[in-house]
Structure 1
Amino acid sequence: MQILQIVPSISLIYGGPSQMVLGLAPALAKAGVKVTVITTDSNGDTGQTPLDVPLNQPVDQDGYEIIYFRCAPFRRYKFSLDLLKWLNHHAQDFDLAHIHALFSPVSSAAATICRQKNLPYILRPLGTLDPADLRKKQQLKKLYVAMIERANLAGAAAVHFTSTQEAKISERFGVKTKDLVIPLGVNPPILSNEDVLSRWGIAKDKPVILFMSRIDPKKGLELLIPALEELLTAGYDFHFVLAGTNPQDPGYEEKIKTQIANSSLRSHTSITGFVTGVAKASLLQAADIFVLPSYYENFGIAVAEAMVAGTPVVISDQVHIYQQVEDSASGWVGTTDTQSLVELLKQALSNPAERQRRGENARNYALENFSWQAIALQMIQAYKSITKL
């Protein structure tokens, strides 16, 4: 079975949804599937340096091959004419395409080419069919749906959702679809002896509350910051770590940093910027509580990464793996309001033994249910049901 993975970018700067392909591809390859990933060299908006990668040629990587194409024209939209030309010429070499992202020009055009070439394809919307996300640029998206995306959904062999809740609430624009619910995977944490707390001046005798995600309005930081301020006023002692960035909206990121600098939190906060690799793994393991009070999150890969690191999570019920967190007692789940967040964090901060218990539950659940090996086997069954191979 030869599977083509199509994703606008796999740069770390775009976060977990894009990076998912780099977890899935080697797991599929290890299970005997021939995998080719096509993507662009996009590494941020206009002005950012593209990825330093070979272009227009297969690169062998972890048992699969990846081909990068120059992002041009329209770098801002991760578009590549070269990628589409290659797909038009090579579509017949594959049994199925797995396309990651909707409302992305290169993904939308790729789906159209797949239909023209009779190559069955699966669409993974990455949360873009969530009603809350559709309200952004609403009129433009209505036009985009009418002209392009409704036909892409109608022509898809299946739509890949990463949680039951995502599938339940997602808009289909009147199109009947075959839905696959298969979660994202995570890798076991990198073990490190790095003293990551000292690196950012974090005291070791205080509980660490970690936010590690894109600094974006949907992540609920305007709920979290006043909640943390209220906890300080109530006498709770902790250290807050804000890890992340937002190259596509630096103004919002700066607003959040300024808000913290002008609040009682400033002497209790470390702002690390974007972290990855050993530093990221070390922070996840050093944290006592991981917090993500998002307004909507189609899966919440950052939550799964915290869980596999053994860190209990405090999340909103709009993070769509909240049911798994509740059922496995891997953390605390509340609503998207400040007072709910305050109460959950009080519970977590007041009971170190319970934090440890829930952290162990989190690790065990994530290793069993979010391992890439398990996800790959589910995906292969889905591929076989579509291709009849």
Structure 2
Amino acid sequence: MKILQIVPSISLIYGGPSQMVLGLAPALAKANAEVTILTTDSNGDNGQKPLDIPLNIPIKKDGYEIIYFRCAPFRRYKFSLGLLKWLKDNAKNFDIAHIHALFSPVSSAAAIVCRQQNLPYILRPLGTLDPADLQKKKQLKNLYVALLERGNIAGAAAIHFTSEQEAKISARFGVTTKDLVIPLGVIPPKTNTEDVRIKFGIPSDKPVILFMSRIDPKKGLDILIPALEKLLITGFDFHFVLAGTNPQDPIYERKIKLEIDNSQLKLHTTITGFVTGEAKTSLLQTADLFVLPSYYENFGIAVAEAMVAGTPVVISDQVHIYQQVLDSESGWVGTTDVESIVKLLTAALLNPQECQRRGLNAQKYALQNFSWDAIAQQVIQAYQEIIKK
């Protein structure tokens, strides 16, 4: 089976949704599929230099290959005429395409090319069909739907959702679709070899509450920060670590940092910026609690990463794997309001033994259910059924 994975960018700076492809591809290759990733050299939307990689030629990696194309002429929108030309010329050599992202010009155009070349394709919306997300730039998105995405959804062999909740609430714009619900995977962390408490100046005698995600309005920091302030007022002693960035909205990122600087929380906070590699793994393993009170989250890959690291999670019921967290007793789930998050964090901080138990539950569940090898088997079965038709 020859598979195309098409994604606007796989730069680390875009976070989990893009990086997912780099977890799936080697797992598919391990299952004897031939995988080619088509992507661009985009590395941020605010003047950052593009990725320093060879362009237009296959790069072999872990049993699969990646072909990068120059972002041009619209770099901000991760668009590539070269990628689309290559797809048009080579689509006949593949059995199926898996396209990641809607409302992204190169992904939308790739779906059109696939239809023109009679190549069946699956769309993964990355949460963009969530009603809350559709409210952002609503008029522009309505036009985009009318011109492009309704046709792309109608022509798709299937829509890939990463949770039942995402599938349940997602818009289809009047189109009937075949839905696939297949979760994202996580890579089990290696043994922690880096002491991030020393690296980032985190106190060794205080429980660590970790937020590690994109610094974005939808992530619920406007709930979390006042909740943490209330905990300090009531006498809890902890250390908060804010790990993340937002190259697409640096103004909001500065706003959050300024809010912490002007708060009593400042003396109890470490802001690390974007972390990856050993530092990321070590932070996840060092934290006593991982917290993400998002207003909407189609899956919550950061939550799954915390779980596989053995860290209990405190999340909102708008993170769409919340039911798995509840069922496996891997953490605490509340609503998107300050008092709910205060209540959950209080319960967790008052009972370190319960935190430890739920952390062990989280790791066990994640290893069993978010394994890339197991997910690859589900994906291949879906591909095979589509190709047969």
TM-score (norm 2): 0.99
| 3-state SS of paired residue (1:24) | helix
The SS at the match of 2:359 is helix
Aligned residue for 2:345? 345
Q: Within 5 Å, which residues of 2 pair with 1:85-234?
A: 85-234=85-234
User: How is 1:262-273 mapped onto 2 (pairs within 5 angstroms)?
Assistant: 262-273=262-273
Q: Distance in 2 between matches of 1:168 and 1:144?
A: 22
The one-letter code matched in structure 1 to 2:285 is Q
Contact 1:164–1:181 at 8 Å: present in 2 too? yes
The equivalences for 1:1-389 within 5 A come to: 1-388=1-388
In the TM superposition, residue 199 of structure 1 has moved relative to its aligned partner by 1.1
Answer whether contact 1:28 1:376 (CA < 8 A) is retained.
yes
Amino acid at match of 1:117: Q
- Compute the displacement of 1:165 (Å): 0.1
**Which runs of at least 4 in structure 1 moved beyond 2 Å after TM superposition?**
none
User: 2:107, 2:202 → 1: CA distance?
Assistant: 42
Give, as a single letter, the amino acid of the residue that structure 2 aligns with 1:201.
G
Alpha-carbon contact 2:46-2:248 (below 8 Å) kept: no
CA contact (8 A) 1:46 1:75 kept: no
Q: What do residues 241-287 of structure 1 show as CA deviations (whole Å, max 9, x unaligned)?
A: 00000011000000000000000100000000000000000000000
Partner AA of 1:143 in structure 2: L
Deviation at 1:193, TM superposition (A): 2.3
1:285 & 1:276 partners in 2: Cα distance? 13
How far is the alpha carbon of 1:195 from its aligned partner? 1.1
Aligned residues with identical type, % of pairs: 78
Q: Which residue identity does 2:35 align to in structure 1?
A: V
Work out whether residues 290 and 311 of structure 1, in 8 Å CA contact, stay in contact via their aligned partners in 2: yes
> Which amino acid in the other structure matches residue 323 of structure 2?
Q
- In 1, Cα distance between the equivalents of 2:8 and 2:92? 21
One-letter identity of the residue aligned with 1:196: V
**In 2, Cα distance between the equivalents of 1:67 and 1:194?**
33
Deviation at 1:192, TM superposition (A): 2.1
Structure 2 unmatched ranges of 5 or more? none
- State the shift of 1:190 in Å: 2.1
Amino acid at match of 1:76: R
Deviation at 1:46, TM superposition (A): 4.2
TM-score normalised per structure 1: 0.99
Distance in 2, Cα, partners of 1:296 & 1:36: 31
Instruction: Give aligned pairs, total.
Output: 389
Report the RMSD for the aligned CA atoms in angstroms.
Answer: 0.6
CA distance in 2, matches of 1:323, 1:49: 40
Aligned partners of 1:46 and 1:60: how far apart in 2? 29
Distance 1:206 1:213 in 2: 22
Q: Distance in 1 between matches of 2:382 and 2:204?
A: 47
Q: Is the 8 A contact 1:296 1:318 kept in 2?
A: yes
